Amino acid sequence: MFHLPQNQFPFRENPTTTFFPYPAAIVSRQVADMLRYVSFILVVACVAAWYGPQALKTPADHRRIEAQKSKPGGGASVKQAAARAQPMQTSHGRKVQLRKGRGGHYRADVRVNGRKFKMMVDTGASLIALTAKDAKRMGVYPSPDKFVYQTRTANGLARIALVTLKNVRIGGIRIQNVKASVHRGKGLDTNLLGMSFLNRLRKFNFEGDTLTMVN
């Protein structure tokens, strides 16, 4: 009978030991290859997840995103966006509300003698103050000899004349015969809604970012 040498026999003599026909070095190499393959798949999946949505965006999408980022408050919440969408002036009967605008000012659409003008609310102004240009449009620009008063403005001293506005209306609020001043030249940049109008209201109050006027 032919006998294999002891060192050439591929099996262990102990029959209870689990048989594994591959050398340990081969197994280790196969495991390492599998781990490298799995790692490669994971890297590819991560890259696809990160750059995939970006690749699907059109040039117009990228321009819109950049434009939103460049705007002040471009990352504002939905609540802030909804607040910006609200009208700056609302009117319910004889109640008018103004929302605070740029620079923390309240601006109103005012009709004077039937013509529409923009005015900025100024509780520090004793009278409605009008620019020379708008006073001419209202038909209340006085003659040169009427500019006998002086007032201090942001641009320095200015000559003014006193006039009476027949009809001043904001929304459903209407006040007649309101005292006003007309500034000569370029002494005033914008029309001011002063206390000669506000004091004629039944009430007005500031609450948060809203000015409420009731007559």
Confirm whether 182 is domain-assigned.
yes
Helix (H) or strand (E) holding 159, with range, is strand 156-170
Domain with residue 202: its CATH number is 2.40.70.10
| Co-location of 62 and 107 in the same domain | no
Tell me the residue ranges of DSSP E strands in 43-126: 89-92, 95-99, 107-112, 115-121
Supply 23's token pair: 């050398």
| Amino acid making up residue 112 | V
Confirm whether 73 is domain-assigned.
yes
The reported pLDDT for the residue numbered 44 is: 73
**Which residue, 79, 114, 147, sits at the end of a domain?**
79
Tell me if residue 111 falls in helix, strand or coil: strand
| Co-location of 44 and 140 in the same domain | no
Confirm whether 13 is domain-assigned.
no
Confirm whether 3 is domain-assigned.
no
Number of domains in the chain: 2
pLDDT 10s per residue in the chain (215 long)? 545 455 554 544 455 544 445 555 565 677 677 778 777 788 777 766 666 655 555 666 666 767 666 555 545 555 555 455 568 899 888 999 999 998 899 999 999 988 999 999 999 999 999 999 999 999 999 999 999 998 887 777 889 999 999 999 999 999 999 999 999 977 788 999 999 999 999 999 999 999 999 99
| Co-location of 170 and 103 in the same domain | yes
Question: Cα–Cα distance between 106 and 120 in angstroms, integer?
Answer: 6
Instruction: Look at strands 107-112 and 95-99 and give their pairing.
Output: unpaired
Q: Is the pTM of this model over 0.75?
A: no
| Co-location of 65 and 164 in the same domain | no
| Co-location of 105 and 167 in the same domain | yes
| Co-location of 126 and 204 in the same domain | yes
| Co-location of 70 and 96 in the same domain | no
| Co-location of 121 and 49 in the same domain | no
| Co-location of 117 and 202 in the same domain | yes
Confirm whether 12 is domain-assigned.
no
Query: If you ran DSSP here, which 8-state letter would residue 183 be given?
Result: E
Query: If you ran DSSP here, which 8-state letter would residue 185 be given?
Result: T
Confirm whether 17 is domain-assigned.
no
Q: Is 21 left (phi over 0), alpha (psi -120 to 50) or beta?
A: alpha
**Which residue, 55, 79, 103, sits at the end of a domain?**
79
| Co-location of 97 and 161 in the same domain | yes
Confirm whether 192 is domain-assigned.
yes
Tell me if residue 205 falls in helix, strand or coil: strand
Supply 53's token pair: 């949505």
**Which residue, 79, 98, 117, sits at the end of a domain?**
79
Question: Cα–Cα distance between 112 and 164 in angstroms, integer?
Answer: 11
| Co-location of 43 and 94 in the same domain | no
Confirm whether 151 is domain-assigned.
yes
Q: By residue range, what is the domain housing residue 165? A: 86-214
